[in-house]
Structure 1
Amino acid sequence: MGDFDGLVALVTGGASGIGLATATLLAERGAQVACLDLRADTVREPLVGVPCDVTDDASVRRAVQAVVDRFGRLDIVVNNAGIGAQGTVADNDDAEWHRVLDVNVVGIARVSRAALPHLRQSPSAVIVNTCSVAATAGLPQRALYSASKGAVRALTFAMAADHVHEGIRVNCVNPGTVDTPWVSRLLERADDPEAERKALEARQPMGRLVSPREVAEAIVYLASPTAGASTGVELAVDGGMQNLRLRPRVT
């Protein structure tokens, strides 16, 4: 028997990276899991791929309804779909600001509001948002991305306050730099990929990138009925990046 036996979860951005690791772990723990993604056709059993564009309200509503039609209920929403952005506040035009905020912030609102009528019927309702250490620490060349994740963090707390009396918990996880396909693509574009990777690893006190599975473990913990007293919680999975201030090693 798993913590999630009988429960149904949807994970946005569930076809790769943190989303796929989370969906896989939820299924291992007993949940029935739908992965909402633009690349839903790449999702393999026991997961169920559902096509979804989080920037399109009609697409979101169809996807959420498809999950409920297939499984008969919805208990867990993991808002994980997101995109990155680089540069200072001056380096991205208005269109890019709107694009990133539309996916990273408004996308969460679209999925959550479509799911709420179904979550209200669940005895184990929970929403977990994928946030970032960029929401709580100033990182260079991440102005737009940080703004979007700061909004995710604030939205998480506001949602938790709005829906606690409905029995719906809302939490977020703040990863550091995770070894995902997006980071791999970022490194490929660097002038010296190996040096850039070492710099990203050194930025985290543990000296390595976070794995998708480690972030998934945190998401699944907050989504579990065993964490039933946790709402309005942010959980850092960042290798110590947010809170540790280590003295430089003297050689």
Structure 2
Amino acid sequence: MISGASRGLGAALAAEYVARGDRVFCGIRSRDAEVPGTPVELDVTDNDSVRRAVAHVVQAEGAIDLLINNAGVHLAGPLLSLDLDAFKKTLDINLLGAWRLTRAAKPHLAQGSTVAMISSLSGLVGPPNDGAYATSKFALEGMSQSLAAELAPEAIRVLVFEPSAVATGFAGAMHGDPPALVASDIARLIASGKAPFRNPLGEVGRRVAAALHIDDGSRATALFESMAK
């Protein structure tokens, strides 16, 4: 099940998993959108919409093996000059949207399933004039790290992926990594079973993460375990 699957990286992820032979449910705002998989009406800011979408998938398949929280919006501009309502909307979709959908799907995630969060390099470093988006993605990373620790005893993985610029037009990015290549990398990492918690994508993403000495999650996990002893 993929949220925000009507275009961009979400559509590329849907196409990737359809090509792999999986049954893919594409969360979209309007049934009129053409998607590679099975369309499901989904507004991640609406609790009832989220519940209906998850119920539709579970009724059709019985469970969810992979949940990809991809729905997102971008808001640019100097942080202190942003419109408050627009800032709240960004957080509601990018952060709480993933929380709502994961919460609704959790009872239907079997052991060995995966929750994938599509973050961004802006979730690792806050660029100027990108504060709203960076805030939402930094918060998504923190929420996901707590969630990963909470769901690990149930053998449910939570993974975070940080693409750099993807050539989808999102946030004005007309140049960058091809969305099909990014989607393929994400699917490959998930299927490997060896992906760490945090996964920067592309040459730029890996270079930035290395320069910032970003923890892939292993140091935090070791810290959690030592504190629990």
TM-score category, normalised to shorter length: 0.7 to 0.9
Q: CA RMSD in A?
A: 1.8
Q: Which runs of 4+ in 1 moved over 3 A?
A: none
Where 1:173 maps in the other structure, the secondary structure is: strand
CA distance in 2, matches of 1:124, 1:244: 29
Match of 1:129 in 2: 117
Match of 1:210 in 2: 177
Q: Is the 8 A contact 1:177 1:238 kept in 2?
A: no
Q: Is the 8 A contact 1:53 1:60 kept in 2?
A: yes
Match of 2:158 in 1: 170
CA distance in 1, matches of 2:131, 2:45: 21
Match of 1:248 in 2: none
Q: Which ranges in structure 1 are unaligned for 5 or more consecutive residues?
A: 1-9, 188-196, 198-207, 246-251
| Offset, 1:74 | 1.1
1:74 counterpart letter in structure 2: I
Q: Is the 8 A contact 1:131 1:149 kept in 2?
A: yes
Instruction: Answer yes or no: is 1:83 the counterpart of 2:73.
Output: yes
Q: Is the 8 A contact 1:51 1:63 kept in 2?
A: yes
| Offset, 1:238 | 4.1
Q: So what's the TM-score if we normalise by structure 1?
A: 0.78
- Give the alignment partner of residue 168 of structure 2, picking from 161, 174, 180: 180
- Give the alignment partner of residue 115 of structure 1, picking from 79, 96, 105: 105
Where 1:50 maps in the other structure, the secondary structure is: strand
CA distance in 2, matches of 1:167, 1:126: 9
Instruction: Answer yes or no: is 1:62 the counterpart of 2:52.
Output: yes
| Offset, 1:218 | 2.8
CA distance in 1, matches of 2:147, 2:71: 18
CA distance in 2, matches of 1:75, 1:22: 15
Q: So what's the TM-score if we normalise by structure 2?
A: 0.85
Where 1:171 maps in the other structure, the secondary structure is: strand
| Offset, 1:44 | 3.9
Higher helix share: 2
Q: Is the 8 A contact 1:214 1:237 kept in 2?
A: no
| Offset, 1:27 | 1.5
Q: Is the 8 A contact 2:31 2:39 kept in 1?
A: yes
CA distance in 1, matches of 2:87, 2:200: 26
- Give the alignment partner of residue 71 of structure 1, picking from 61, 76, 88: 61
Instruction: Answer yes or no: is 1:220 the counterpart of 2:207.
Output: no
Match of 2:19 in 1: 28
User: Number of aligned pairs?
Assistant: 209
Match of 2:133 in 1: 145
Cα distance change of structure 1 residues 176 and 126 upon mapping to structure 2, 3 Å threshold: same
1:117 counterpart letter in structure 2: P
2:32 counterpart letter in structure 1: D
Match of 1:193 in 2: none
| Offset, 1:243 | 4.1
1:115 counterpart letter in structure 2: A
| Offset, 1:11 | 0.3
